[in-house]
Structure 1
Amino acid sequence: MTASTANAQRFREFKMPDVGEGLTEAEILKWYVKPGDTVTDGQVVCEVETAKAAVELPIPYDGVVHELNFGEGVTVDVGTVIISVDTDPGAGPAPAPATVQTPPEAAKAEEEAEPQGRQAVLVGYGAAPSSTKRRARKPQAGVPAQPEPVSAALQAELNGRTAPAPATPVTPAVTPVANGAGVGAVGRPLAKPPVRKLAKDLGIDLATIVPSGPDGIITREDVHAAAAPAAAPAPAAAAAVPAPVAPAETGVVNAAARERRVPVKGVRKATAQAMVSSAFTAPHVTEFITVDVTRTMKLVQELKQDPDMAGLRVNPLLLVARAFLVAIKRHPEVNASWDEAQQEIVYKDYVNLGIAAATPRGLIVPNIKDAGVKTLPQLAEELGDLVATAREGKTSPAAMTGGTVTITNVGVFGVDTGTPILNPGESAILAFGAVKLQPWVHKGKVKARQVTTLALSFDHRLIDGELGSKLLADIAAVLERPKRLITWG
């Protein structure tokens, strides 16, 4: 057995899995382990956020964590190694791991290996010897074609360790050009990715900086020193600078100073893309109906006292969901999807009922599988579990795929109704508005009744106006007289 084979068997690598259906990347939210920690098969080692949800990842090996390849906040492609485990820690010392990539460093490597052996590379990217010779690049004028061998100090720094001070000054491995900046074999200043980002943020040209680091590497201190003259006024001048004046006094408002920018990623990015796709591919039609739900609200109170519903979450949304399912059973043609590729309508004999849930990461729509065949207690239990899981941010991607219709409960925000946008691939979405005490004609007299407004949006390719109107009218009829849950269900 070769040494490389033995190492491959000892150091097991765990790659970012596709935790959903066809996902291409995920962001590492939190690591639960660090290098040197002991882990066991099935132990959760990190939490990642995909375009669908936050998911905890278990490690499939026993051993000791050898290396974390990426830091928290880094978005990693599916199939990329994120952690390695030493499955035989008693076999001897392990090689030093590479420095963990953090968000600024998580870009592709900017330095390439040269023909002779290997060249010093920047933090986080590692280096591997190559048996294939590359054709040497033509050096630029005044720049050496090949840097000197890497010094011990630089190599130790690249490996994330502190090296002892050399006995004699280290001679830079590159020849300064006219402006004094350290330049690599490809004619660009040598600097680590974080330093490059710092210089970019401060508006400093690396080519104008005289490097002070080993082997001509530009350090963070070099960048700050170059930025200091421009950013910091002289002491005398500083005393003359007037105190900040409130916008009201000057009439000028600095809008940029009072704005926050947050990258669009994860669940919010996927939601935005899905809504745009849905709005511009499925022809939406929305219909509204206002209904007296006084009897339904009384039934909710009665069910809360029913022993069969003990320990379950009973609320108006539960009966709205049941009314929706009963109406779909009476009009099964609404439960369909549009297959653009095959130019077919796919009718479904099952109902996966989605419930729109607002979470800190954005709106998600997990669904209850086969909701149409569940009893009222079963529906209440699954609805309660679905909402609790969503609020904790633990909804699995599988729970958010395969939905056929959705309910969005805008009433919890005190909103009467809205025009909901279809969840992509679904045929209809019902908005349940706030239940309010309003004057209503009941048995020929105006009385105070509990009233709500329902809005149904549907895909007009699948559901015509007549079918959509019948579906919405049946939902309202059940909520007005909930005994129809028995006679129609």
Structure 2
Amino acid sequence: MIAEFRLPDLGEGLPEAEIVQWLVARGDEVTLNQPIAEVETAKAIVELPSPFAGTVSDLHAAAGDVVAVGAPLIAIDVPGDVGALAGAGGAGSADPAGVTRETAADTAAAAADTDATVPNLVGYGAAPRTAGRPQRRARAVRAAAASASASDTAVLAHAPHDVVAPAPTEDLRHERPRSTPPVRAYAKERGVDLALVEASGVTGVIRREDVDRYADAMRAQAASASATAAPGTPGARETRIPIRGVRKHTAAAMVQSAFTAPHVTTFLEVDVTETVRLVADLRADRRLDGHRIGILAVAAKAVCLALRAEPSLNARWDGPAGEIVQFHYVNLGIAAATERGLVVPHIADADRLTLVELADAIGALAQTARSGRSAPGALSGGTFSITNFGVFGIDAGTPILNPGEAGILGLGSVRRRPWEHDGQIVLRDIVTLSLSFDHRLADGQEASRFLRAVGDILREPGRAMLLS
């Protein structure tokens, strides 16, 4: 019996996800909860576990495809009664998350019922789109165009990413291509999807030469397309990059924040020579081997201490309720630049951590963010953020608020500059702090007090730590 797994709502309220890579292929045997794919949402890369044990009969999307929540993702040939397995595996639920039971007899009826939401890993996802779904491979199209030539099938298989195919009158996506195990292994080795290969013999069984013919045709077509319009080739005048994933989410969030919260930015230059010395001493302390304590960790501690005195900067504007929500904890966001774009995961209850614990948390957070493994819960729910301009050699900037937060502190590069100290001009370590804040939640006086408090702690960290 064929069990179909639909893309679940991953608990972030996002309508779609991109297939990063498949961890299984057609014909593979999978076990319950075995990872089957990595998908990228607008916030993180997530592994999807298999809801069933069985044989993979179809993959409904290719790596790089953007799939809507609730759309078919993978079909698994499950031995025995799917309903019995679902009842045994679920806790108070008739079906595992995101699973639809289908047989050859009721495929058409199931396909017609597109208005109902489908159960998934977390809650209920969006109803499948009746107009079709983005495709790169023409699995559904093959059923409606079975009489098309092999060259037509090849063109459909490599249609542009945003092509939406109309729903076919007859859906054969659950029909497993007829081939022998050696041929399936050979096709997998060559990277060929057997669902796209036409059998040349009268028996309808796909052979090695069919796989070779299809692979050669695709290679020739790809070479031809590359020769005519490959982006990034010498002489190309422009390159178009799809807006998706983290960059798409970040852009939307920044536009929303910039045009919703009235931003004000204020600056303060601070002599951080003592903080630089403290960091050097802590790094030289063998008892702290393995704990990389830097100026960012000290600044994070300073922010947590200053927010105690200025709670207006640790708050949220709740317009619909007509209330200002002040937090009695600090979920400190740390902006992290990654290959996928800017993300701001937060450290929960950062105000309860020691300096060493904060340094460890920042290091772990940055490593996880750069690998794309930040948990969805860590990417929302922050109350205040820090962005470190200094790592890029920048002195100052006007950071945009993370949506829903009252303030964000920009930490500039530490510069050795002439500075007045004890009545003399000497070289000191100077940093510029940039504070952007929501003027609905804090006025200039409160923001200035907060920024001076952070500056005072960085100026004399030893004294401040005694009071923490």
TM-score normalized by the length of structure 2: 0.70
What residue in structure 1 maps to residue 77 of structure 2? Answer: 86
Cα gap change, 1:108 to 1:428, in 2 (>3 Å): farther
SS in 1 for 2:448: helix
What residue in structure 2 maps to residue 373 of structure 1? Answer: 352
What residue in structure 1 maps to residue 238 of structure 2? Answer: 259
What residue in structure 1 maps to residue 324 of structure 2? Answer: 345
What residue in structure 2 maps to residue 441 of structure 1? Answer: 420
1:47 corresponds to which of 34, 38, 47: 38
What residue in structure 2 maps to residue 423 of structure 1? Answer: 402
How many Å apart are 1:260 and its aligned residue?
A: 0.8
Cα gap change, 1:110 to 1:330, in 2 (>3 Å): farther
Work out the CA distance in 1 between the residues paired with 2:247 and 2:290. 34
Work out the CA distance in 1 between the residues paired with 2:430 and 2:271. 5
Is the 1:72–1:102 contact (alpha carbons within 8 Å) kept by the matching residues of 2?
no
Is the 2:14–2:41 contact (alpha carbons within 8 Å) kept by the matching residues of 1?
yes
Gaps of 5+ in 1: 1-6, 114-120, 130-156, 168-219, 232-254
Counterparts of 1:307-456 in structure 2, within 5 Å, are 307=286, 309-456=288-435
What residue in structure 1 maps to residue 62 of structure 2? Answer: 71
Is the 2:52–2:76 contact (alpha carbons within 8 Å) kept by the matching residues of 1?
yes
Cα gap change, 1:80 to 1:308, in 2 (>3 Å): farther
Work out the CA distance in 1 between the residues paired with 2:71 and 2:295. 46
Structure number with greater Rg is 1
2:51 corresponds to which of 60, 63, 66: 60
SS in 2 for 1:162: coil
Residues 430-474 of structure 1: per-residue CA shift (max 9 Å, x gap): 000000100011111111111100000000000111100000000
Is the 1:73–1:102 contact (alpha carbons within 8 Å) kept by the matching residues of 2?
no
How many Å apart are 1:21 and its aligned residue?
A: 1.9
Work out the CA distance in 2 between the residues paired with 1:440 and 1:354. 32
Is the 2:143–2:170 contact (alpha carbons within 8 Å) kept by the matching residues of 1?
no
Cα gap change, 1:269 to 1:107, in 2 (>3 Å): farther
Counterparts of 1:4-403 in structure 2, within 5 Å, are 7=1, 11-88=2-79, 103-105=135-137, 128=170, 160-164=196-200, 257-307=236-286, 309-403=288-382
Residues 197-244 of structure 1: per-residue CA shift (max 9 Å, x gap): xxxxxxxxxxxxxxxxxxxxxxx99xx9xx9xxx9xxxxxxxxxxxxx
Cα gap change, 1:261 to 1:408, in 2 (>3 Å): same
How many Å apart are 1:486 and its aligned residue?
A: 2.5
Gaps of 5+ in 2: 83-102, 108-132, 146-152, 158-164, 172-192, 204-216, 229-233
Is the 1:73–1:103 contact (alpha carbons within 8 Å) kept by the matching residues of 2?
no
TM-score normalized by the length of structure 1: 0.67
How many Å apart are 1:385 and its aligned residue?
A: 0.7
Residues 94-116 of structure 1: per-residue CA shift (max 9 Å, x gap): 98x9xxx9844579979989xxx
- RMSD after superposition: 3.5
How many Å apart are 1:282 and its aligned residue?
A: 0.2
Runs of at least 4 residues of structure 1 off by over 6 A? Answer: 106-113, 121-126
Which amino acid in the other structure matches residue 163 of structure 1? A
Which amino acid in the other structure matches residue 24 of structure 2? V
Work out the CA distance in 1 between the residues paired with 2:356 and 2:196. 57
Identical residues among aligned pairs (%): 47
Which amino acid in the other structure matches residue 392 of structure 2? F
Moved more, 445-454 or 390-399: 390-399
Is the 1:27–1:48 contact (alpha carbons within 8 Å) kept by the matching residues of 2?
yes
What residue in structure 2 maps to residue 135 of structure 1? Answer: none
Work out the CA distance in 1 between the residues paired with 2:197 and 2:324. 62
Cα gap change, 1:18 to 1:106, in 2 (>3 Å): farther
